[in-house]
Amino acid sequence: MTAPETTATAPGQAPAPQDTVARAAGRPDQPQPFAELGLTEPEYQRIRDLLGRRPTDAELALYSVMWSEHCSYKSSKVHLRQFGEKAPRSDAMLAGIGANAGVVDIGHGYAVTFKIESHNHPSYVEPHQGAATGVGGIVRDILAMGARPVAVMDALRFGPADAPDTRRVLPGVVSGISFYGNCLGLPNIGGELAFDPCYAGNPLVNALCVGVMRHGDLKEAIAEGPGNQVILLGSRTGPDGIGGASVLASATFGEGAAAKRPSVQVGDPFLEKLLIECCLELYREDLITGIQDLGAAGVACATTELAAAGTGGMRVRLDEVPLRDSSLGPPEILMSESQERMMAVVTPANVARFLAVCARWGVQATVIGEVTGTGRLEMTWHGQTVVDIPPGTAADEGPVYQRPLARPDRQDDLIADDPARLARPDGGPALRGTLLRLLAAPGLADSTWVTEQYDRYVRGDTVLAMPEDGGLIRVDEESGLGVALATDGNGRYSLLDPYAGAQLALAEAYRNVAATGARPLAVTNCLNFGSPEDPGVMWQFAEAVRGLADGCLELGVPVTGGNVSFYNQTGQTAIQPTPVIGVLGVHDDVRRRLSIGFGTEGAPVVLLGRTSDELGGSAWAQVVHDHVGGRPPRVDLAAEQALAGLLADAAAAGLLDAAHDLSDGGLAVALAESCLRGGHGARITLPGDPFTFLFSESAARAVVAVRPGAEAEFTRLCAGRGVPAETIGAVGGTSLDVDGCFTVPLDELAGAHQGTLPAIFGPAIVSAASTSPAVTS
Amino acid sequence: MTARVGVITFPGSLDEDEAARAVRRAGGEPVALWHGQRDLRGVDAVILPGGFSYGDYLRCGAIARFSPVMAALATAARAGLPVLGICNGFQILCEAQLLPGALTRNAGLHFVSRDLRLRVESTRTAWTRAYSEGQEITIPLKSGEGAYAADTSTLAALEAGGQVVVRYLANPNGSVRDIAGVSNEAGNVVGLMPHPEYATDGLTGPGTDGLGFFASAVSALTEVAR
């Protein structure tokens, strides 16, 4: 191995030579590794045209990350515009797309902000840290809006549960979420767990965070007021997540200097907890004029976006950035994705108090520059200018692509492959066996093995958490005001029809929020797709976005923000298109929340909505026949709206004992879950073909238990809302009894439902103390 | 006169707000204490709440025991001040040697968050007077390093002295002899891994079985004050 050239700046040593602006102007023809940094030839040429010279290494690094798909949304932008263009009128919005996350008015002077983001690729490479830093990143997003983060959720998708690699990935992801979220003190209140072979080489780890603030607390990511100071606070900058920058480093400094740099970031939840408390105190003391979190593209992104949104100029001394690795140079500092960092803009008069608050929390804070009126983003390295660009060119004027899209040829074959040809269970014993098989399937089984590793209680305001339909957090103890959240997605539906699939995911999350008794208000999304360079994938993406935008317009719930994750594929094989939709609702009084559990003997069980023979993409087809084909269930958003309104009204009037939305596995799985959750059986008489009523996945349906005595009033309410309602039995006994078909005792249901994940991933429950002898001294 | 119960916040404390709410629900007045302070502001009792005091990347509570506030706390505890350590607070009290034994990684090595049945074994402590001996209560547990461990002679002394305060009915983490909480010999210092503060409001917890811990101290202190 050859020794690296000197790159560190040891005390008393001259700084390593840098590719300065002057040098770039003087050596216009020096070849630059733009392709290795992910830029195309036309993109590189565009940078040269914008600057009127070749970029310096630092500038090239900055543009390469700012113009990446992840930061610039260059392939998705033209489609995402629909969320704005088709946005329904809503008085609830305080801030929308463009800000770090949308802000929604929930009344009583409170506002909430929520967002979901992917951390798919890091979570495959290094599951524990990948998932942990995914939580950290979304929490900082919410913090940067001025809100206190109050809860998280995770939507997880893996390869087959029993595949050897899933046993590496899933436990690592869960331990990472557990490690980071629990240490931050954020209750984890729900999410999803699904399995499909398409995610084997590309799991989906989507993390959602919700935060609460008072109306006046909203913060903005802008750098205004020449002379104001730019302060970097939190973690020191290290060589995390800068795989790409090594290209530059090795080109500049010689081989070996930047070898073995980790491409996955490492999280420090304790520091993030301090950063949260520190920032909230800075907000309370009114010590900032602008703030932004550092996530993807780190300092490059924060400086360009703050500058572009503000007065337009900023001068940054990159050598002032506190480093964990003194060998880092400007390109690496700009690209580093070290976690637990924020950048604030502070008036000179407030700097001393700002630094004192940071010191109280033990958070390192360093003035690294100031706002200027030049319209330029200038960065120096030991006095030499290494970046001098108009910040808007990197932040807002990146490339925008209208990628070619084409409906895949196989789409017709998929739809033609109708599940009607599949053998259906015939007779009671076969139906009984089918129910038990579905309940035990990994994607439908009890997910306690996962959720028990998350703290759901912390902060003391968790009213509902998994396995309920939605999570519910109390915001105001006196009035009972709260927010409900749910995330949903179904890759099978979206594969068969991406337009309908996105709407079905939206409808399910909307319904889940309503099933807690809340009124849905706003939508966030995490759009997980394959390569945008594949016209078939791009068609799926365009259809899903169009479906979601149309659906939100019809339901009257605006999209407040979201995230696009492309390139989710293994080799040339893309994942199923998987739009994951998060819906937030407001609950006027959380004391009137609805649980899925059947809790009262004798309560009538009522099926709401219309059931048709709809099994395309269903859990039954997948689990029993390994089949995905046909058409997904029909979307009826007017019916969804009527059902949601009914559930909220009925909850507010105290008419219901329990409510559970029907989705994966249909009525059969929902009934079993409600029985197990509440510890009571049910006696059910189906109003038609048993197989269809038990396993069809028709949308816009729920099953409820009516409070005894409230039957007449509830029936009137259903009629008034135009929601079909049919009493199908009553809560009672110690088994699920479907008249004329089968009886399953609750403990047999529990055994089928609860055994699957511990059998695959190892028992989370340890045996009695006898296995752990006393420590002998 | 209302009992003033101090709740110490370490940098990484998480459950201090709920501990304070539980004190209020029990009729006491919570008083915020900061880990960097050197005095206890004249409080009548102290709670060390759950959380990750200093990140706890080392042994849980190993750094927190050196916090400035801990010297004053140790002195007061040895003089009889009622002190309750919950979860991380229990770990800190063990590290500070105000309670015997230690907390180690859960058997199974996973964080466990679960509502649990406990049996109250001792009602002679400052924090369990409100219960009856043998009473079974439901309280959430949420911890990754909650397996109680002690050497055999310490265990024998704990059992003989009635210092085992609560036991798990179904052991969730490999704690020796199903021990969920212990006290010092005098009974004024109690530590337990489960979180009684999250069982003081039926809406957000499994019930109100945990209220007795706070009511025990608050009512005794209020009586003394009369």
**Burial class (CB within 10 angstroms; exposed 0-12, middle 13-18, buried 19+) of A618:** buried
Rounded-to-integer distance, Cα B127 and Cα B220, Å: 9
Q: Nearest-CA neighbor of A636 among A558, A541, A723?
A: A723
Tens digits of residue pLDDT in A186-197: 999 999 999 999
Higher pLDDT, A267 or A692: A692
Kindly provide the b/e burial profile for residues B44-82, where b requires at least 16 CB atoms within 10 angstroms of the residue's own CB. bbbbbbbbbbbbbeeebbbbbbebebbebbbebbeeebb
> Would you say A390 and A377 are in contact if contact means Cβ atoms under 8 Å apart?
yes
CB–CB of A769 and B174 under 8 A? yes
Over range A253-277, report the average pLDDT: 71
Q: How far is A406 from chain B (nearest CA, A)?
A: 47
What proportions of chain A, in percent to the nearest 5, are helix, strand and coil? Answer: 40, 20, 40
Confidence band (pLDDT; 50, 70, 90) for B1? Answer: confident
- Nearest Cβ partner for B174 among A452, A457, A771: A771
Please give the backbone phi and psi of residue A308, each rounded to the nearest 5 degrees, phi first: -65, -35
Single-letter amino acid code for the residue at A524: T
* DSSP of A652-673: HTT-EEEEEE--TTHHHHHHHH
Contact state of B152 with A777 under an 8 Å Cβ cutoff:
yes
Beta strands in chain B (DSSP E): 4-9, 29-34, 45-48, 83-86, 102-104, 112-120, 136-143, 147-149, 164-168, 179-183, 189-192
Structure tokens given for A62: 């900055």
Distance CA A462, CA A478 (A): 15
CA atoms within 13 A on the CB side of A494: 32
Q: Which residues contact A356 (CB under 8 A, 6 or more apart)?
A: none
| Three-state secondary-structure class, residue A57 | helix
- Residue given tokens 């290795």 in the structure block: A36
d(CA A217, CA A310): 19
Chains A & B: contacts with CB separation below 8 Å: 132
Subunit contact B171:A768, Cβ cutoff 8 A: yes
- What's residue A92's pLDDT? 79
Q: Residue A271: list chain B partners with CB under 8 A.
A: 55
Q: Which residues of B touch A273 (CB under 8 A)?
A: 11-12, 14, 52
- Interface check for A478 against chain B (CB to CB < 8 A): the answer is no
**A504 pLDDT tier (thresholds 50, 70, 90):** very high
Query: In which region does residue A521 sit, left (phi positive, over 0), alpha (psi from -120 to 50) or beta (all else)?
Result: alpha
Mean pLDDT in residue range A645-660: 97
- The answer to whether A182 contacts B197, with C-beta atoms less than 8 Å apart, is no
Residue B142 to residue A182, Cβ atoms within 8 A:
yes
B111: tokens are 């964080």
Is the pLDDT confidence value at A250 over 70? no
| Cis peptide bond prior to B172, omega within 30° of 0 | no
Ranking A84-88, A224-228, B16-20 by mean pLDDT, the lowest is A84-88
pLDDT at A4: 38
Report CB contact under 8 Å: B151, A455: no
Chain B residue with minimal CA distance to A174? B110
pLDDT, position A241: 73
What part of A 570-609 touches B (C-beta under 8 Å)? 590-591
Share of chain B above pLDDT 90, in %: 88
Does A161 score more than 90 pLDDT?
Answer: yes
For the beta carbon of residue B175, count every other beta carbon within 10 angstroms: 27
Instruction: Confirm whether A215 is a catalytic residue.
Output: no
- Dump pLDDT digits (tens) for B61-115: 888 888 999 999 999 999 999 999 999 999 999 999 999 999 999 998 899 999 9
CA distance B175 to B162: 17
**In angstroms, what separates the C-alpha of B92 from chain A's closest C-alpha?**
16
pTM exceeding 0.90: yes
pLDDT tens per residue across span A321-368: 999 989 899 999 999 989 999 999 999 999 999 999 999 999 999 999
Please check whether residue A100 is in contact with residue A115, taking contact to mean a CB–CB distance below 8 angstroms.
yes
Catalytic residue status for B197: yes
Mean pLDDT, range A15-27, rounded to an integer: 85
Per the residue annotation, which of B87, B94, B95, B121 is the catalytic one? B87
Question: What pLDDT was estimated at residue A1?
Answer: 33
pLDDT at A560 over 60: yes
Give the pLDDT score at A243.
59
Report the pLDDT value the prediction gives residue A776, as an integer from 0 to 100: 33
Q: What is the largest CA-CA distance in chain B?
A: 49
**pLDDT band per the 50, 70, 90 thresholds, residue B224:** low
Taking the Cβ of residue A763 and every Cβ of chain B, the question of whether any pair is shorter than 8 Å is answered with yes
As a whole number, mean pLDDT of residues A373-392 equals: 95
Give pLDDT, residue A89.
81
Cβ-based contacts of B111 with chain A (< 8 Å): 175, 178-179, 182, 452-455
From the candidates A119, A128, A627, A660, which is the catalytic residue? A119
What does the pLDDT average to over A640-669? 97
Q: Provide the Cα torsion A408, A409, A412, A416; round to 10°.
A: -120
Reduced to 3 states (helix: H, G, I; strand: E, B; else coil), residue B166 is strand
pLDDT in tens, B114-168: 999 999 999 999 999 999 999 999 999 999 999 999 999 999 999 999 999 999 9
CB A493 within 8 A of CB A501: yes
pLDDT at A261: 52
d(C-alpha A455, C-alpha A662), whole Å = 27
CB contact under 8 A, A766 and B198: no
Nearest by CB to B142, from A274, A277, A455: name it. A455
The C-alpha of B67 sits at a distance from chain A's nearest C-alpha, in angstroms, of: 14
Instruction: List phi, psi (to 5°) of A298.
Output: 40, -125
